[in-house]
């Protein structure tokens, strides 16, 4: 990941979003944006698609926001978002991953 050219990845997502403007592409673009401009910029970008009905039951929206909040130093918001992701249907492996991330931001509480 350290060798990834995140600016190029972001440019590619910009091009993809221009051709295929879906909320999932916008979510993925926000991940690249976080690497270029930081988690706060990505959280702002996600606000534009947060209410899209396609993402209403998509656990990776709150999971992504959780990670961005964690990286921003806000474990309380991160925990709330991990819980929101866990309230949605996910595979057992994904649930285990999300529970581990939740435990990491709540210190096991």
Q: What is the pLDDT of residues 4-20, one digit of tens each?
A: 999 999 999 999 999 99
Domain 6-107 top-level CATH class: mainly alpha
Query: If you compute the radius of gyration of the chain from its CA atoms, what whole number of angstroms results?
Result: 14
C-alpha of 6 from chain center:
16
Higher pLDDT, 84 or 2: 84
Q: Whole-angstrom distance between the N-terminal and C-terminal Cα of the chain?
A: 30
Q: How confident is the model at residue 109 (pLDDT cuts 50, 70, 90)?
A: low
pTM, whole model, 2 decimals? 0.92
91 three-state secondary structure? coil
The pLDDT score that the predictor gives to residue 2 is 78
Q: Is the Cβ–Cβ distance between 64 and 46 less than 8 Å?
A: yes
Distance from chain centroid for Cα 28: 8
31-60: pLDDT as tens digits: 999 999 999 999 999 999 999 999 999 999
Express each pLDDT in 67-96 by its tens digit.
Answer: 999 999 999 999 999 999 999 999 999 999
Long-range contacts, stretch 18-22, CB < 8 angstroms, 24+ apart: 22/54
């Amino acid at each position: 990941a350290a060798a990834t050219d995140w600016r190029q990845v972001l440019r590619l997502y910009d091009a993809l979003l221009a051709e295929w403007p879906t909320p999932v592409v916008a979510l993925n673009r926000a991940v690249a944006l976080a690497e270029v401009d930081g988690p706060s910029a990505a959280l702002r970008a996600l606000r534009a698609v947060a209410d899209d009905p396609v993402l209403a039951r998509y656990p990776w929206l709150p999971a992504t926001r959780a990670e961005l909040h964690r990286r921003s130093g806000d474990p309380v918001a991160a925990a709330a978002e991990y819980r929101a992701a866990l309230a949605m249907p996910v595979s057992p492996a994904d649930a285990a991953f999300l529970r581990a991330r939740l435990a990491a931001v709540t210190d096991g509480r």
